[in-house]
Amino acid sequence: MIRIVDVAREAQVSVATVSRTLNNSARVDPVLAERVRAAVQKLGYRPNAVARNLRRRGTQVWALIITNLNNPFYTAVARGVEDVASELGYSVLLCNTDEDQAKQDRYLEVAAMERVAGVILAPRSDDSDVSTVQDDQIPLVVVDRALRQPVDFVTAASFEGAVLATEHLLRQGWRRPACITRPADTATAEQRRLGYEDVMRRHGLAPVVRHVGFHAGGSAEMISALLAERDAPDAFLTIDSMLALDVLGGLQRAGLHSGRDVGVISFDDASWAPVVDPPLSVIAQPAYEMGAEAARLLARRVRSEGPAEPQTMIMSTTLIVRGSCRRPKR
Amino acid sequence: MIRIVDVAREAQVSVATVSRTLNNSARVDPVLAERVRAAVQKLGYRPNAVARNLRRRGTQVWALIITNLNNPFYTAVARGVEDVASELGYSVLLCNTDEDQAKQDRYLEVAAMERVAGVILAPRSDDSDVSTVQDDQIPLVVVDRALRQPVDFVTAASFEGAVLATEHLLRQGWRRPACITRPADTATAEQRRLGYEDVMRRHGLAPVVRHVGFHAGGSAEMISALLAERDAPDAFLTIDSMLALDVLGGLQRAGLHSGRDVGVISFDDASWAPVVDPPLSVIAQPAYEMGAEAARLLARRVRSEGPAEPQTMIMSTTLIVRGSCRRPKR
DNA sequence: TTGTACGCGTTATCAG
DNA sequence: CTGATAACGCGTACAA
């Protein structure tokens, strides 16, 4: 490996001068600077970031910890984070917890040990423990799912989105919409369920709620069973696009058609939503922008800018009406 | 920040003993070891990975550089890599190049500077420059898309998959299948096109090929135009699932139905494939396993095991027949 | 403006 | 088995 001293020797200057030219950290005689650059070129020198980080007592790396890389919502968030990060000169350590609390804890531990400059976390549960990074004063921005404790937080208006969706369903004439959601310790899912139940209550209707674990496998049976009940739901609100897929599959097996026999609406505007038949109505979240905003907020924290109190940023959701909620007159 | 010396003082031992107990690198008197562990606990000590990496002259981090985080194929690969990595005690630096050669080069540079232990790369083009990591002797495994030069490489049988797909189309009675593919410097896309053309030629049919750039926007128009031609294709083979979405959208706008008016088959078994109407036939790649195998191969390279010559691993693809290729008798 | 020398926090070597 | 100490490669006071 070729070190800074090698460059210094080649350029006939001191290591300090090499360091200074490479980091523009002080004025350097243009002649020497040129010699340094030539030597760097000639030797193919590449600064050792590890040593630099040790000396600087800090890295240029962020950790982004999400629960499911297969969820297009999170990959969109990740792209938002990544774009802003690379713009600002940070690298992103992307960690996938698989909705596993233990894995999440391990990643937080790794982040702390690697002395990352900041962490963006989509927590598994609303009482996830984040003391690992907090104790080390590592800036943390929570994204998507709220934590019980006050922290910097970027999310979408889940409750309102669910209200929008449920009201749209009822407006079309569906009377027994069900809400397919995720475990109750998932903040976002819970907000959506509450929004749904709120509308149902106001309309004097009985909520029908089903919770589906993340490591599915059972949701297909659950949906088929639900469809076979005596007072089966006549519509569905699913709180993420993977659950929408499950419901669509269930309808298919039952020989039912959305936009005709049942209404379907889901959170997240997946890329396939406009292409299924009929196209799926959705509550879209600005996923990419959420990631980008979380990143910008983190950047401010890393630079210790802005107010000290935790910031919360709630981005609005959009109802996109397609065909899957239609209810023909009968 | 709390350092190893603080622990040593608290436990009334030397730093060497602390280090040894924490790394199990040598026998330590159980009594002292217990005192160390107690001190670690009490002080909340967490080893500084940056310092460790400097001293050990190496990290426990891999870089995974892919072209598009939104492509479910690559997220599946990433999961495979990540699972094996975390099993083996490595962290993964996930980088998204957005099909941008310059971004890819920057990430390779970052990987080299961060002294990652290894790199897994899905290159933008078949003549991407990987000398940045090769010069520094950083083990490299290329995944999915081949490079012109010999390197460790894990991929799926693209040519054969395309042959399978095209023959299936013809078997159903379609006579003018078109191939919608990606730029010709994308090794995998090119293999698929060649497989398609090979079958067409053997059947004495004229190939119809369209290349679509990655930053789409134009593919919708292209497909609509293609559909409007005099001798419009009566079937489509798309080489990835995003192109399939484009084709399905085009058919929808043209009022055509797959599995009736046209046949459609695509590479990659996306999660939505079984749910569109009719369900989409596909050539499935073992994406997760490809990632896992690439990771295992990289792990061997990092440990300098196995033969020195570049290894190539070609995993087989599977034709999954659903409804989208059906051709009713007329 | 330049160079020398020390320290960042660990691990590994070498005496004891 | 333990402890003192020299690296690891870089950035930056401080002195020149």
If you write DSSP's letter for every residue of B204-245 in order, what string do you get? T---EEEE--SS-SSHHHHHHHHHHSTT--SEEEESSHHHHH
CB within 8 Å: B48 and A113: yes
- What pLDDT does residue A173 have? 97
Q: Pick out residues 35-74 of chain B having their CB under 7 A from any atom of nucleic acid strand C.
A: 45, 47-48, 51-52, 54-56
Tell whether A76 lies on the interface with B, counting CB pairs under 8 A.
Answer: yes
Task: Please tell me whether the peptide bond between A278 and the residue prior to it is cis, using omega within 30 degrees of 0.
Answer: yes
CA distance A319 to A265: 10
Across A24-48, average pLDDT: 96
Q: Which residues from B are below 8 Å from A134, CB to CB?
A: none
Nearby residues of B57 by Cβ (< 8 Å), 6 or more positions away = A1, B115
What is residue B278's DSSP assignment? Answer: S
How many percent of chain A have pLDDT more than 70? Answer: 100
pLDDT of residue B136: 93
Q: What is the pLDDT of residues A232-265, one digit of tens each?
A: 999 999 999 999 999 999 999 999 999 999 999 9
Q: Is B317 helix (H, G, I), strand (E, B) or coil?
A: coil
Contact map slice: B 206-245 vs A, CB within 8 A: 242, 245
What string of DSSP letters covers B128-179? ---HHHHHTT--EEEESS--SS--EEEEE-HHHHHHHHHHHHHHTT-S-EEE
The pLDDT score that the predictor gives to residue B208 is: 98
Please name the residue whose C-alpha is nearest to the C1' of nucleotide C11: B55
A91 touches chain B (CB under 8 A): yes
Could you read off the pLDDT of A263-312 as tens digits, one per residue?
999 999 999 999 999 999 999 999 999 999 999 999 999 999 888 899 99
Which residues numbered 23-52 in chain B sit less than 7 A from strand D, measured from CB? 26-29, 31-32, 51
pLDDT, chain A, mean? 96
In the block, residue with structure tokens 């790394």: B23
Q: What is the pLDDT of residues B240-273, one digit of tens each?
A: 999 999 999 999 999 999 999 999 999 999 999 9
The stretch A141-156 carries a mean pLDDT of 98
Task: Give me chain B's average pLDDT, please.
Answer: 96
The reply to whether A1-47 and A158-285+318-325 are identical in fold is no
Q: What is the pTM of this model?
A: 0.95
| Yes or no, beta carbons of A50 and B54 under 8 Å apart | yes
Name chain B contacts of A91, Cβ cutoff 8 Å: 93, 95, 110, 114
A59 interfacial to chain B (CB closer than 8 Å): yes
Report the pLDDT value the prediction gives residue A129, as an integer from 0 to 100: 97
- pLDDT tens-digit readout, B109-134: 999 999 999 999 999 999 999 999 99
Select from B85, B185, B98 the least CA-distant residue to B145.
B185
Q: Which CATH superfamily is domain A1-47 in?
A: lambda repressor-like DNA-binding domains (1.10.260.40)
Label residue A13 by pLDDT band (50, 70, 90).
very high
Is the predicted pLDDT of residue B307 greater than 90, yes or no? Answer: no
User: Candidates 3.30.70.260, 3.40.47.10, 3.40.50.10490, 3.40.50.2300; correct CATH number of B158-285+318-325?
Assistant: 3.40.50.2300
pLDDT of residue B330: 72
Residue range A313-325: mean pLDDT, rounded: 97
- A232: Cβ contacts below 8 Å, ≥ 6 apart: A176, A226
A56 touches strand D (CB under 7 A): yes
Q: Do B93 and A96 make contact, defined as CB atoms within 8 angstroms?
A: no
Q: Where are the domains of chain B?
A: 1-47, 158-285+318-325
Mean pLDDT of B234-245: 97
| Residues B291, B244, A280, A274, CA torsion sign | positive
Per-residue model confidence as pLDDT tens digits over B48-68: 999 999 999 999 999 999 999
Q: Is A135 on the interface with B (CB under 8 A)?
A: yes
Q: Please give the pLDDT value at position A150.
A: 97
- Nearest by CB to A69, which of B50, B79, B249? B79
What residues contact residue A308 under an 8 Å CB cut-off, 6+ apart? none
* Confidence at residue A199, expressed as pLDDT on a 0 to 100 scale: 98
In the block, which residue shows the tokens 């369209």? B210
User: Under an 8 A CB cutoff, do A78 and B69 touch?
Assistant: yes
pLDDT given at position A329: 84
> Which nucleotides in chain D have some atom under 7 angstroms from a protein Cβ?
1-5, 7-13
DSSP state of B114: T
Q: Is B54 an interface residue toward A (CB < 8 Å)?
A: yes
- B165-179 pLDDT, tens per residue? 999 999 999 999 999
